[in-house]
């Protein structure tokens, strides 16, 4: 039996990222400063939007939006069951019980038609998720809200997976009222830990300067950042709100700035690896290919969520174990939220979300990252095929 030593999703870092971090460390200024502002500018340019706010994680980005927009009971917020817990945890942080909506059948994306049924007079926002980097049909949601005269509902896209994805010819980042991105270590573009909010309207809902409000709210409500306070005579400041503490540091931004210069090439490599997987799997009668490029949307190729036709959850788990024994790690994205203890205690049941369960039960995520070699990708997909067909033959 051949053995491998292939990681699942390591960061793609070069000497250039290391050198940029060293430059920051030697500068004497390592927390939020000029590198963060430069990174924000570059992210906004890349996403073709007016503003970007860099923070410590995508989770904190969602927390920050909900804090600044003052979501609170009896407000209702609609979201999907098929996402990482941070999407809905941030709603719970505001004392609001999420209104979960099932997926569209045979899709990883929320069912837009079911969103309509979930909207009430208390609905304040809808938080959608671009699973695996596949953009939602943002215009379809806009058209739905226009049709029912509820354009007051705030659209937030958890685009943690979708940095670099495109929708109708434009980069994802300005289609919803707010987009949130993750730059965690396993994401396409990393800052080790980090995230960002992107948006177009700096006077959203009558705000005088939304960017400024996000910035000071991310610093415990403090009107001056540490760099400004450190200047001679700059010690005085005010506290304007009971803010959070989720600013990005210059160390993290230094990594991100270099990653941005390499990012288009990294995306091309991910797309090429995806083609290798798809070419090997497309003629298998049991393989449900996760996505194809079309004229309106292109994924960011963050994940390769293969589904296996007529497979049970137990069979899928057996395949994972077989592959693990030979040194090929795979994963599952995601366990639907109603299957977790915390959400069960809130009264949710997976039985109410059959489409989400069906997507989960036979889903297998293959390793996909820009430093993965072509040879390793070919080995991975061949071993995946062997493992699946071995289990199917039993």
Question: What is the percentage of the chain residues whose pLDDT exceeds 70?
Answer: 100
Q: What is the CATH number of domain 263-392?
A: 3.90.1150.10
Alpha-carbon gap, residue 134 to 131, rounded angstroms: 6
How is the chain split into domains, by residue range?
A: 15-256, 263-392
pLDDT tens-digit map of 229-275: 788 888 899 999 999 999 999 999 999 999 999 999 999 999 999 99
**Mean local confidence (pLDDT), 366-393:** 98
Task: Using the predicted structure, report yes or no on whether residue 293 has a pLDDT greater than 80.
Answer: no
- What three-state secondary structure class fits 51? strand
Question: Sorting pLDDT into bands at 50, 70 and 90, what band is 87?
Answer: very high
- What local confidence, expressed as pLDDT, does residue 231 receive? 83
The architecture CATH gives domain 15-256:
3-Layer(aba) Sandwich (3.40)
Which residues have C-beta within 8 Å of that of residue 238, sequence separation ≥ 6? 222, 223
- What local confidence, expressed as pLDDT, does residue 46 receive? 98
Task: Using the predicted structure, report yes or no on whether residue 157 has a pLDDT greater than 90.
Answer: yes
Question: What is the percentage of the chain residues whose pLDDT exceeds 90?
Answer: 95
Q: Which one of the listed residues 35, 187, 269, 297 is annotated catalytic? A: 187
Whole-angstrom CA distances from 377 to 9, 289, 359, 374 are 13, 16, 24, 5
**Across all residues in the chain, what is the average pLDDT?**
97
Question: Sorting pLDDT into bands at 50, 70 and 90, what band is 170?
Answer: very high
Task: Using the predicted structure, report yes or no on whether residue 1 has a pLDDT greater than 90.
Answer: no
Alpha-carbon gap, residue 108 to 110, rounded angstroms: 7
Alpha-carbon gap, residue 65 to 179, rounded angstroms: 10
Pairing of strands 166-167, 123-129: unpaired
Task: Using the predicted structure, report yes or no on whether residue 374 has a pLDDT greater than 90.
Answer: yes
pLDDT tens-digit map of 121-151: 999 999 999 999 999 999 999 999 999 999 9
Tell me if 250 sits within 8 A of 355, measured CB to CB. Answer: no
**Mean local confidence (pLDDT), 212-220:** 98
Q: Using alpha carbons, select from 167, 166, 218, 159 the residue that is nearest to residue 183.
A: 159
Known active-site residue 245: no
Question: Sorting pLDDT into bands at 50, 70 and 90, what band is 228?
Answer: confident
Which pair of structure tokens corresponds to residue 338? 């109603």
- What local confidence, expressed as pLDDT, does residue 232 receive? 82
Specify the DSSP element, H or E, that contains 389.
helix 374-392
pLDDT tens-digit map of 16-28: 999 999 999 999 9
Residue environment code for 14-50, b if the CB has 16+ CB neighbours within 10 A, otherwise e: eeebeebbeebeeeebbbbbebbbbbbebbbebbebe
Alpha-carbon gap, residue 249 to 34, rounded angstroms: 10
Domains 15-256 and 263-392 agree in fold: no
């Amino acid at each position: 039996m051949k053995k491998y030593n292939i990681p699942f999703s390591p960061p793609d870092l070069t000497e250039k990222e290391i050198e940029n971090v060293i430059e920051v460390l030697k500068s004497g200024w390592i927390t939020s400063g000029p590198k963060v502002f430069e990174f924000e500018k570059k992210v906004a340019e890349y996403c073709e939007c007016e503003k970007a706010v860099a923070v410590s994680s995508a989770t904190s980005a969602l927390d920050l939006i909900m804090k600044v927009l003052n979501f609170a009971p009896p407000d209702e917020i609609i979201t999907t069951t098929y996402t990482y817990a941070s999407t809905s945890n941030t709603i719970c942080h505001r004392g609001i019980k999420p209104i979960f909506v099932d997926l569209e059948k045979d899709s990883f994306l929320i069912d837009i038609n079911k969103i309509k049924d979930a909207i009430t007079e208390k609905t304040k926002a809808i938080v959608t998720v671009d699973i695996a980097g596949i953009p939602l049909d943002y215009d379809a949601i806009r058209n739905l809200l226009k049709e029912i005269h509820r354009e007051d509902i705030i659209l937030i896209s958890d685009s943690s997976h979708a940095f670099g994805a495109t929708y109708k010819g434009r980069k994802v980042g300005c289609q919803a009222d707010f987009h949130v991105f993750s730059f965690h270590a396993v994401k396409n573009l990393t800052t080790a830990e980090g995230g960002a909010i992107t948006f177009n309207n700096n006077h959203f809902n009558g705000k005088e300067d939304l960017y400024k409000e996000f910035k000071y709210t991310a610093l415990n409500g403090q009107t001056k950042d540490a760099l400004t306070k450190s200047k001679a005579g700059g010690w005085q400041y005010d506290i304007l709100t009971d803010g959070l503490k989720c600013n990005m540091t210059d160390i993290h931004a230094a990594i991100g700035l270099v990653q941005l210069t390499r990012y288009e090439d990294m995306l091309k490599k991910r797309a090429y690896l995806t083609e290798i997987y798809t070419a090997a799997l497309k003629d298998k009668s049991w393989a449900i290919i996760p996505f194809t490029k079309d004229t309106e949307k292109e994924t960011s190729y963050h994940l390769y969520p293969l589904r296996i036709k007529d497979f049970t959850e137990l069979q899928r788990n057996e395949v994972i174990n077989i592959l693990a024994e030979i040194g090929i790690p795979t994963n599952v994205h995601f366990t639907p939220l109603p299957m977790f203890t915390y959400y069960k205690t809130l009264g949710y049941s997976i039985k109410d979300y059959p489409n989400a369960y069906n997507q989960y039960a036979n889903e297998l995520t293959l390793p996909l990252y820009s430093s993965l070699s072509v040879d390793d990708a070919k080995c991975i997909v061949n071993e995946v095929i062997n493992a699946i067909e071995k289990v199917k033959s039993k």
